[in-house]
Amino acid sequence: MTRNEAGKPGDPGVDPGSGLTPGPVECLDKQLNGSYEVITCQIDVGYWSNARQCYQRLADPQSPPPEGFDPVGAWYDCSPPPAPACSPTGQVCLDQWGTSNWLLTPPPGITTLTPGQAARSLVASFALTGITVGFAPDPTVAGSKSYVGVPIWMWAENPTPLSYGPYVQSTTLGGVTITATAQVSSIVWNMGDGTTIACANAGTPFVVAYGAVDSPTCGHRYARTSAAQPGGTFPITATSQWQVSWEGAGESGMIPLTTTATSAVRINEIQSVNVGPGR
């Protein structure tokens, strides 16, 4: 059966639940005249990819990933259709046939995942959030402000497993059972004045009884007022650096993630008042 060319046929997207890519509804093999021939989707050398125009399967054994590439992936062999379907005089035989491709997600029709791919799919389902910003002065209090040179305290308010960790999940995907643990390793605070501060823990909540002293774990002092900023405040961004460790099928690894939270602070300038003699 022949189909006229109506744009390059593609492959379906990855199923976010399983991490697998289902096979295309119809497998189409491009001909030299621009038309497409319907082809058998699955044969002994693999499952047909409309996007790559070859049969693909997981390479066995696996080689190390290419230098500089994301290690969470696998090599897949790319094979042509068997004769007579593969005819250089009538069919578009691509140079990539007989080669292997490093792919982060499995091509269509593959029903197994590598441990790294299963881990990546599991972690993609995590509903991690940014922290609830703890800040002194408290930006949630109307009129709250601070002053140039006065200590600022920053911390993660009421941290939860999804906002700070540890958050642990186990599942079986693509024939592989994976356990992944997510934990914030540090919080990077962009203070809005050009200063970035990396804090190695959740920070210390401020208590009024402490007075105007520096935070022992995560703090800042502004050197200028925020009066010239839009809205008269410095925008605050807290970026949580997550490390997600995973293990399964005798392998293990680490996947980095980030989440963000925002706030703002008004910084005023301390006014000096001159008082004359006798006043």
Q: Do 126 and 254 reside in the same domain of the chain? A: yes
Pair (96, 154) in one structural domain: no
- Tell me, yes or no, whether 206 lies in a domain: yes
Residue 95, pLDDT above cutoff 50: no
Nearest to 190 by CA among 163, 220, 229, 159: 220
Last-in-domain residue among 48, 78, 110: 110
- Domain co-membership, 138 together with 253: yes
My answer on whether 106 and 127 are in the same domain is: no
Q: Can you tell me the distance from the alpha carbon of 233 to that of 222, in angstroms, rounded to the nearest whole number?
A: 12
The answer to whether residue 139 is domain-embedded is yes
Work out the percent of the chain whose per-residue pLDDT is above 90.
64
Is residue 178 within 8 Å of residue 248, measured between CB atoms? Answer: yes
Give the residue-averaged pLDDT of 218-225. Answer: 96
- Does residue 274 lie in a domain region? no
User: Which helix (H) or strand (E) element contains residue 121?
Assistant: helix 115-124
Tell me the residue type at 266.
R
pLDDT at 220: 97
Q: pLDDT tens, 12-50?
A: 998 888 889 998 889 998 887 788 888 899 999 899 999
Considering the domain architecture, whether residues 92 and 129 belong to the same structural domain is answered as no
Is residue 172 scored above 80 in pLDDT? Answer: yes
The domain total for the chain is: 2
pLDDT category at 275 given cuts 50, 70, 90 is: very low
Q: Which residue has the higher pLDDT, 6 or 142?
A: 142
Do residues 120 and 89 touch, judged by C-beta distance below 8 A? no
Q: Are 174 and 112 in contact (CB under 8 A)?
A: yes
Residues 79 and 160 in one domain: no
Query: Are both 131 and 249 inside the same structural domain?
Result: yes
Please tell me the least confidently modeled range out of 34-48, 114-128, 194-208.
Answer: 34-48
Report the alpha-carbon angle 44-172-161, nearest 5: 145
**Cβ(41)–Cβ(85) below 8 Å:** no
184-193 mean pLDDT: 98
Mean pLDDT of the chain, nearest integer: 88
For residues 59 and 157, membership in a common domain is answered with no
- Please say whether the beta carbons of 216 and 205 come within 8 A: no
Q: Specify the CATH number for the domain of residue 223.
A: 2.60.40.10
Whether 104 and 127 map to the same domain: the answer is no
User: Is residue 277 included in any domain, yes or no?
Assistant: no
Give the model's pLDDT for residue 19.
86
| pLDDT over 50 at 233, yes or no | yes
Do residues 17 and 138 share a domain?
A: no
Contact 53, 92 (CB under 8 A): yes
Residues of the domain holding 224:
122-268
